[in-house]
Amino acid sequence: MNALDGIIEGVRAGLARRRSRVPECELRDLASGVRPVPDCAELLRGTDGLKVIAEVKRASPARGRLAAIEDPAELAAAYEAGGAAAVSVLTEELHFAGSLADLDAVRARVGVPLLRKDFVVDPYQVWEARVHGASLVLLIVAALEQPLLVDLVAQAAEIGLTPLVEVHDQAEARRALDAGAWVIGVNARDLKTLEMNKGAFAAIAPDIPENVVRIAASGVRGPRCAVEYAELGADAILVGEALVTSGHHREAVAALVAAGRSINGGRPDGPRFPRLPGSPGPAFP
At residue 269, the pLDDT reads 43
Mean pLDDT across the stretch 162-182?
98
Average of per-residue pLDDT values in the chain: 91
Q: Which domains does the chain have, with CATH numbers?
A: 3-264 (3.20.20.70)
| pLDDT at 284 > cutoff 80 | no
Q: What's the distance, CA 210 to chain centroid?
A: 20
pLDDT at 256: 96
pLDDT in tens, 191-238: 989 999 989 999 999 999 999 999 999 889 899 999 999 999 999 999
Q: For residue 267, is pLDDT > 70?
A: no
Please state the φ and ψ torsions of residue 169, each to the nearest 5 degrees: -155, 180
pLDDT-wise least confident of 47-51, 84-88, 127-131? 47-51
Mind listing the pLDDT tens digit for each residue in 117-130?
999 999 999 999 99
Question: 264 pLDDT band (50/70/90 cuts)?
Answer: low
